[in-house]
Amino acid sequence: MNAPARINSALNVRDQFPAIENWHYLDSAATAQKPQAVIDAITEAYARDYATVHRGVYQRSSEMTGRYEDARAAASGLIGGQANEVVFTRGATEAINLVARSLPKEGRTRVLLSRLEHHSNIVPWQLAGYEVDAAPLTDDGQVNLDAAEALLTEEHRVVALAHVSNVLGSVLDAKRAAEIAHSKGALLLLDGCQAVPRMPVDVAAFGADFYAFSAHKLYGPTGIGALWGRADVLNSLPPWQGGGSMIDRVTFEETTYLDAPMRFEAGTPHIVGAIGLHAAVDWIGKLGLDAVHAHECALVAETRSKLSNIPGVTLYGPEDSAGIVSFNVDGVHAHDTATILDDAGVAVRAGHHCAQPLMDWLGVAATARASFAAHSDSSDIDALVRGIEQVKRIFG
Ligand SMILES: Cc1ncc(COP(=O)(O)O)c(C=O)c1O
């Protein structure tokens, strides 16, 4: 294989991230560092513009309400949806729980997942009383959609799949997944946590029914995320939590509810979280998700090429993974690898990555995972390689 070109921060945004000075942060799949634009938006929202939303009649509150709703439109627009199709949640986990808990089963009691799902896309379905089937993976760690198609029956209410695997970086053929789900009358939920920060997403083009993501993986704040759902589908779901803001009229005899998305947002929402998310959407929008995707693919190619030249390093996942490379050093536990890398100023995640069924499939207890972001460059990969060489020296 020809050595891929070095990636000298082609996007040129590293100096916008105050928290990664002198640090090789390769754990963006866990949570992304924040650019100054997002930090500033959050600070100003608390320090200058703060007020409640959807309640106050005073000027500041109505301005905040406008900004909160603008954030909703921006979050939905980022993935090709309409403004009224996004429900703000605490994150992707809560978004998937919302669907699992509130979608009427209509006599269908099964859900079809895959073996690479994050626990957030397994446990909510179990808790909601679904019987779970899991599609196998191809040898290089992609969801085997032919096998998924063969497994799908009219007992399945939902097909729920990661758009991008948080461990292997495998990218799902979302359009085909939608066609398969719909062929048996099931709905398609895509867990977009790892896709949204890494590539352009268009839910309408895919034909998805639900799409879930978290702001903190998209350079935004923690504590907020989005459930996108087609307006007609969302409006067919009953509310799942009750309280203020989601009602039309309350009496002791009966309560009626607002339309989606408000009927799913009981209580005072994460107002400043939404503003931070909007700033993150604007920030990544200016950069361009096509450019981010190309940048991260180049980083993956460089990493895979360099790590595959180190004897005793096992790489997992497909060659063309999106921004994520999992690996192990033979005979060394991933936690030891990550600890030595930490000493070398390189932050990687080690463990099961909330994907224990995938670890079982890989036949390992854990992997080390390097995950990239817009600010990553070849200096991060060089530091990773030096760190792995040190791991090998220490463990002989
Ligand atoms: C693929 C995937 N799904 C779901 C989640 C859960 O996201 P959150 O913890 O932000 O709700 C994660 C987080 O790691 C993820 O990577």
pLDDT in tens, 121-178: 999 999 999 999 999 999 999 999 999 999 999 999 999 999 999 999 999 999 999 9
With a cut of 60, say whether residue 4 has pLDDT above it.
no
* Residue 367 in contact with ligand 1 by CB distance below 6 A: no
pLDDT score recorded for residue 11: 87
Residue 120 alpha carbon, nearest atom of ligand 1: 4
Please list, residue by residue across 100-135, b when 16 or more beta carbons sit within 10 angstroms of its beta carbon and e when fewer do.
bbbbeeeebebbbbbbbbbebbbbbbeebebeebbb
* Residue 28 in contact with ligand 1 by CB distance below 6 A: no
**CA angle in degrees (0–180, nearest 5) for 121-94-112:** 25
Measured in degrees and rounded to the nearest 5, phi and psi for residue 367 equal: -130, 165
Residue to probe by mutation, ligand 1, list 94, 115, 118, 121, most atoms within 8 Å of CB: 118
| Average predicted confidence (pLDDT) for the chain | 96
* Residue 214 in contact with ligand 1 by CB distance below 6 A: yes
Residue 94 alpha carbon, nearest atom of ligand 1: 11
List, in sequence order, every residue forming a beta bridge with 228; answer none if it has no partner.
Answer: 86, 211
With a cut of 80, say whether residue 206 has pLDDT above it.
yes
Residue 91 alpha carbon, nearest atom of ligand 1: 11
* Two tokens, residue 205: 């083009």
CA 275 to chain centre: 19
* Residue 380 in contact with ligand 1 by CB distance below 6 A: no
With a cut of 90, say whether residue 396 has pLDDT above it.
no
Of all residues in the chain, the percent with pLDDT exceeding 70 is 97
Question: How close is the Cα of 192 to the center of ligand 1, in Å?
Answer: 9
pLDDT tens readout for residues 16-26: 999 999 999 99
* Residue 218 in contact with ligand 1 by CB distance below 6 A: no
Residue to probe by mutation, ligand 1, list 214, 222, 349, most atoms within 8 Å of CB: 214
With a cut of 60, say whether residue 252 has pLDDT above it.
yes
pLDDT score recorded for residue 57: 87
pLDDT tens readout for residues 300-347: 999 999 999 999 999 999 999 999 999 999 999 999 999 999 999 999
* Residue 326 in contact with ligand 1 by CB distance below 6 A: no
* Residue 166 in contact with ligand 1 by CB distance below 6 A: yes
Residue to probe by mutation, ligand 1, list 166, 196, 358, most atoms within 8 Å of CB: 166
Look at residues 341, 326, 348 and name the one whose alpha carbon lies nearest to residue 395.
Answer: 341
With a cut of 90, say whether residue 7 has pLDDT above it.
no
- What is the rounded end-to-end Cα distance, in angstroms, of the chain? 28
Look at residues 24, 352, 379 and name the one whose alpha carbon lies nearest to residue 167.
Answer: 352
Give one word for 2, left, alpha or beta, with left for phi > 0 and alpha for psi -120 to 50: beta
Out of 39, 123, 294, 354, which one is annotated catalytic?
Answer: 354
**CA angle in degrees (0–180, nearest 5) for 159-349-337:** 135
pLDDT score recorded for residue 390: 97
pLDDT tens readout for residues 362-371: 999 999 999 9
Do β-strands 255-257 and 225-229 pair in parallel, antiparallel, or remain unpaired? unpaired
Confidence of residue 106 (pLDDT cuts 50, 70, 90): very high
H or E, element range at 298: helix 289-308
Confidence of residue 6 (pLDDT cuts 50, 70, 90): low
Confidence of residue 103 (pLDDT cuts 50, 70, 90): very high
pLDDT score recorded for residue 1: 44
Tokens 């399945």 belong to which residue?
Answer: 156
193 as an active site residue: the answer is: no
